[in-house]
Chains A and B, each alone.
Chain A
Amino acid sequence: MTREDDSELRDTALEATELDRRLTATWATPPGLWGALSTVDHKIIGRRYITTAVVFLALGGLLSLLMRLQLAQPEARFIGPDRYNQIFSIHGTNMMFLFAVPVMQAMAVYLVPLMVGTRSIAFPRLNAFSYWMYLAGGLLLWIAFMLDAGPDVGWFAYVPLSGPEYAAGKRADIWAQMITFTEVSALAVAVEIVVTVFKQRAPGMSLDRIPLFVWSMLVTSFLVILAMPAIMIASTALILDRLVETHFFNPAEGGDVLLWQHLFWFFGHPEVYIIFLPAVGMVSTIVATFTRRPVFGYLGMVMALISTGVLALGLWVHHMFVAGLPRLGESFFTASSMAIAIPAGLQIFCWLATIWAGRPIFKTPFLFVIGFMVIFVIGGLTGVMVASVPFDTQVHDTYFVVAHFHYVLVGGAVFPLLGAIYYWFPKFTGRMMSETLGRWVFGLIFAGFNLTFFPMHILGLRGMPRRIYTYQPEMPWSGLNMLISLSAIILAVGFLLFFIDAIRSGRSGAPAPSNPWGASTLEWATSSPPPPYNFARTPVVGSLEPLSDNPDMLPVAAGLRVDCRELLVTSVVEAIPEAREPSSGDSIWPLWAALATTATLIWSIFTPWAVVWGSIPVAIALIGWFWPKGTSEDDS
């Protein structure tokens, strides 16, 4: 068969086995190191992303255990003040920038293309680049920590503490540059998700038939695009202040330290929703599957997602209530902070209604959803409390706030994430996780979490400040601190059991069928794990729950080429097929580009000339990346 004939060949002309053979040849990642380094398969990259983020979760968890060991008794000398500063700064930075945001985006990198029924993510090479950048940023932070040069200025690195006068050495620069790495990768993934959701949905998946997880990732991605540039500007200005003596944050020369707080929290508050909204999507998906009915109030849920996203950009000043801002401004932000309870409450009641009307099956993923609701509601209640200025003034920078944000973040994001991993693990690996162990994991984490973090509310009300490396025996804190440290062991055992379960199930778990939970979204329409090309033929969607309409038959669209990577582009609103679009193949250039960028960014911590000389290899890598390959586009 000549090449001429090949390009005319469409999937319509082939039988299932032959189609599978040809599509695999086109889409599969070649074996070996080169294949692993140059792959652009969103499933491989997504799995790498998730694994790396979970490794960072474990590392960050180890740091928190070190802190609990130090705080278990008064006047402990286990960790010195300087090391303790590094530990809590890296714990926070790691959990926010290297775990929570990337793991949510990683789930989307893996799942969104499957859930919208397409063959690959949009801009697959950018996706590969974003993973390498993320990995480099994570390594920068952790290697710096091992070099005793870890950031010690807290995860929000307030100036002037992180400025040139008070932060000696390169520690704060490493923090700021790590931000650049993670933001580049987060922005890249956000753009991919938006384009995938808008332009690559399966035919018939109009806006009102998009699964809620995909909606939540779409809103999240817009939040990333709108909020993250603020922190990139802030961290770049900080590096400039420290390296080339600009005066962005130097009041004596006309700069402003408050500028840092505004820029940081303009990103930092949406960040909370960047972490929380994907979890909302996961919860909605799990609730729908385990109650055997669609989520109650789909339109309300989507509107709640969007309004949370909009409100998220108007809340940031509530982190700055003790910074001495005008009263009127504080009142406005109190009001907007309270207003966020409306969409959040709407979502909670929609899920309750769904469970109420359905027939819930209490499998492990659903248990985590129940745990999420309990913990997140408690965190939400203390959230309304600290939204009030007089109360916040009392508890600002105490353990009350520590308790509050762990309830919101662990309850709001980690519980749904663990549920989601139990739920989608069969799709990722083709094997089921253990139900027995899963119940133990849930029980230990739920009990350990509440025993660890609830007493922190009381500690905070008794006046224990955050970020202290030790405290005096006269303070009425030692009993509760010992309780918290002991409870943290329960929590740690729960996580340890989870890791054991994940590794063991991945090796020798029971083989999973393609749809083990009887779910209704498209990712379950393909095998577990999915083939490199996702779907042999593009599915056609006729409702919100495509797999429930007719469980035995899924309508498909055909006509895509099989000899090169091609996917279907559809219209934004109605998802009407518009064109066949080529999807880029494997390439090593994203890795080179990431390496060149990494070298430039790290070098620029030490001298501004790095930006000049480092731009040369970056430019070379980008030229290699975008070099025309001579294949003509075949739009029709």
Chain B
Amino acid sequence: MGTESVTEKANVNPASALMVAGLLLLISSGGVFGWLRQARELRLDPPGVSDLDRFRLMQNGISGTPPESYFALGKVYESDAYNLSQGKRLYSWFGCAACHADGRGGIGPSFLDGWWLYGPEMVSIVASIRDGRPHGMPAFRDKMTIEQIWQLAGYVQTIGSYTPKVAAPSRNDDKHTRPAENRGPAKILFDEGPAGVHADQGPSP
């Protein structure tokens, strides 16, 4: 309606001018931060997606170098609540629970105990899901897109995380069966009790 600006014009009110300037500063700094902040991309560029496939593993299949595009994206698959939540959904859609249960393991190894047979790096987990591993882990490269595999890997990493992450998928509207992912459930591995934690690690690779 402009009545505020009217009074400014009429008797050059420094107070209103200062308030308006402060508001503009606040909003524009919001805009700047918003521009710096990584966006929630529902549709990645096709070249960016295909580059996610190009990571290099060490000889023994453990650890390696992620693709450069992963850093360009801002490591979203382990630090972004949206991608972690998508991973959580994929975890149930692609039947991970059939072997790994709610993360405590069953036929397959547990994630929750914090014991990583191939290391906790994203590339190891992505490789495990994409290409499969000995002793029963199937390959999912023909069932999921590579972007979905990265999302799922980020979520799996969260289940077995030693420290709580800032970003985390939230709880599902289900019965609770284990500690929440966002509390770093695997830190029990470092509990110094009289007995300690003796995870049953299953067959070694």
Residues of A near any B CB (own CB < 8 A): 31-37, 47-48, 50-51, 54, 80-82, 139, 142-143, 146-149, 160, 163-166, 168-170, 242, 245, 249-253, 255, 421, 425, 428-429, 499, 502-503, 506-507
Contacts and interface: CB of A to CB of B under 8 A. Distances in A.
B173 interface: yes
A591 B31 CA distance: 25
A36 to B, nearest CB: 4
B174 interface: yes
B34 A429 contact: no
Interface in B1-33: 1-6, 9-10, 13-16, 18-19, 23, 26-27, 30-31, 33
Given A31-B13, A146-B31, A147-B37, A253 B176 contact: yes
Given A169-B81, A502-B1, A506-B1, A253 B34 contact: no
Given A51-B1, A168-B81, A502-B1, A163 B30 contact: no
A164 B171 contact: yes
A35 B80 CA distance: 45
B5 A503 contact: yes
B2 A33 contact: no
Contact of A148 (B15, B40, B42): B40
B15 A36 contact: yes
Contacts of B86: 168
Contacts of B195: none
- Enumerate the 4 nearest inter-chain pairs by beta-carbon distance, A residue then B residue, closest first: A164-B170, A506-B6, A36-B15, A503-B2
B42 A82 contact: yes
B112 to A, nearest CB: 18
B180 A252 contact: no
Contact of A507 (B9, B42, B174): B9
Contacts of A47: 3-4
Given A54-B1, A252-B175, A502-B1, A168 B85 contact: yes
A160 to B, nearest CB: 6
B170 A242 contact: yes
A430 to B, nearest CB: 9
Contact of A429 (B6, B15, B18, B174): B6
Contacts of A428: 1, 3
| Most chain B C-beta atoms within 10 Å of own C-beta, residue among A35, A51, A54 | A51
A165 B180 CA distance: 12
A147 B33 CA distance: 6
Given A143-B26, A143-B27, A168 B170 contact: yes
Contacts of B150: none
A165 B15 contact: no
A33 B1 contact: no
B191 to A, nearest CB: 23
Nearest to A152: B40
26 contacts: A36-B13, A50-B1, A51-B1, A51-B3, A51-B4, A54-B1, A82-B40, A82-B41, A139-B26, A146-B27, A146-B34, A148-B39, A149-B37, A160-B173, A163-B173, A164-B170, A165-B170, A168-B169, A168-B170, A169-B40, A170-B81, A250-B174, A251-B173, A252-B173, A421-B1, A506-B2
Contacts of B6: 429, 503, 506-507
Nearest to B173: A250
Contacts of A148: 34, 37, 39-40
B171 A245 contact: yes
A136 B19 CA distance: 13
Nearest to B9: A507
Contacts of B4: 47-48, 51
How extensive is the interface on chain B, given as a class? 35 or more
A429 B7 CA distance: 9
B43 interface: yes
A147 B82 contact: no
B157 to A, nearest CB: 16
A487 B180 CA distance: 51
B63 to A, nearest CB: 28
A110 to B, nearest CB: 10
| Most chain A C-beta atoms within 10 Å of own C-beta, residue among B19, B26, B82, B173 | B173
B84 interface: yes
Given A47-B3, A147-B37, A245-B180, A168 B82 contact: yes
- Chain A interface mostly: helix
A253 B175 contact: yes
B172 A165 contact: yes
Contacts of B2: 51, 499, 502-503, 506
A428 B82 CA distance: 48
Interface in B70-125: 80-82, 84-86
B18 A33 contact: yes
Contact of B27 (A50, A142, A168, A502): A142
Nearest to A34: B15
Contacts of A80: 42-43
Given A147-B34, A149-B37, A252-B173, 14 more contacts: A47-B3, A50-B1, A81-B42, A82-B42, A139-B27, A146-B31, A165-B170, A168-B86, A169-B40, A169-B81, A169-B167, A170-B81, A255-B173, A421-B1
A135 to B, nearest CB: 8
A530 B18 CA distance: 25
Contacts of B1: 50-51, 54, 421, 425, 428, 499, 502, 506
Contacts of A503: 2, 5-6
Contacts of B39: 82, 148
Contacts of A37: 15, 19
B85 A147 contact: no
B15 A32 contact: yes
A137 to B, nearest CB: 14
Nearest to B180: A245
Given A80-B43, A82-B42, A32 B27 contact: no
A47 B5 CA distance: 11
Contacts of B37: 147-149
A468 to B, nearest CB: 14
A80 B14 CA distance: 42
Contacts of B18: 33
B73 to A, nearest CB: 14
A51 B8 CA distance: 14
Nearest to B31: A146
A146 B80 CA distance: 18
B187 to A, nearest CB: 18
A506 B82 contact: no
Nearest to B26: A139
Contacts of B19: 33, 36-37
Contacts of A163: 173
Contacts of A48: 4
Nearest to A169: B81
A142 B24 CA distance: 12
A50 B5 CA distance: 13
A35 B14 CA distance: 11
| Most chain B C-beta atoms within 10 Å of own C-beta, residue among A32, A164, A168, A502 | A168
B179 to A, nearest CB: 11
A170 B2 CA distance: 34
A168 B84 contact: yes
Contacts of A249: 173
B3 A31 contact: no
Contacts of B167: 169
Nearest to A39: B15
Nearest to B83: A168
A45 to B, nearest CB: 12
B171 A165 contact: yes
A506 B27 contact: no
A177 to B, nearest CB: 16
A499 B80 CA distance: 41
